[in-house]
Chains A and B, each alone.
Chain A
Amino acid sequence: MDKSAQRVSLAEIFKTFFMIGLTGFGGGMAIVALVERVCVREKQWITAEEFLHGLAFGQILGPFSLNVCTFTGHHLRGIRGGILAAAGFIMPSFLLVSLLSWLYFTYNKLPQLQAALKGTNPVVIALIVVVAIDMGKKQIKNANGVVMALAAFGAAVFLKLNAAWILLAAAGWSLAVTIYRREST
Chain B
Amino acid sequence: MAALFILAWVYLRIGLIFVGGGYVLIPLLNHIMVEQYHWLTLRQFLDGVAISQLTPGPLAILATFTGVRVGGFTGGLVATVFIFLPCVTLMLVIGRNYHRLKNVDTIKKTLDGLLPAVVGMVGAAAWSLGAASLDGVKEFIVLGIGFAIFKWTKMSPMVVILGAGVVGWLLN
A residues in contact (CB < 8 Å) with B: 21-28, 31, 50, 53-54, 56-67, 70-71, 74-75, 79, 82-83, 86, 89-90, 92-94, 96-98, 100-102, 104-105, 112, 114-133, 135-136, 139-140, 144-146, 148-157, 162-164, 166-171, 173-175, 177-179, 182
Contact = CB atoms under 8 A, between A and B. Distances in A.
A153 B124 CA distance: 5
Contacts of A167: 17, 19-20, 24, 28, 114, 117-118, 121
A130 B149 CA distance: 10
B87 interface: yes
Given A61-B87, A66-B88, A119 B142 contact: yes
Contacts, number: 360
B94 interface: yes
A174 B114 contact: yes
Contact of B61 (A94, A154, A171, A173): A94
A167 B13 CA distance: 13
Contacts of A119: 142, 164-169, 171-172
A123 B142 contact: yes
A63 to B, nearest CB: 3
B78 to A, nearest CB: 12
Contact of A139 (B58, B119, B139, B140): B119
A148 B20 CA distance: 14
B119 A21 contact: no
Contact of A74 (B65, B92, B146): B92
Contacts of A166: 117, 121
Contacts of B139: 118, 121-122
Contact of A131 (B23, B65, B110): B23
A117 B130 contact: no
Bin chain B's interface residue count: 35 or more
A62 B87 contact: yes
B57 A151 contact: no
B73 interface: yes
A152 B120 contact: yes
B85 to A, nearest CB: 10
Contact of A27 (B19, B59, B117): B59
B1 to A, nearest CB: 20
A173 B129 CA distance: 27
Interface string B41-58: 001001111111111111
B165 A117 contact: yes
A140 B59 contact: no
Interface in B85-144: 86-88, 90-92, 94-96, 98, 101-102, 104, 106-130, 133-134, 139-140, 142-144
Contacts of B102: 53
B31 A62 contact: no
Contact of A101 (B76, B98, B164): B76
Given A94-B64, A97-B57, A116-B168, A63 B22 contact: yes
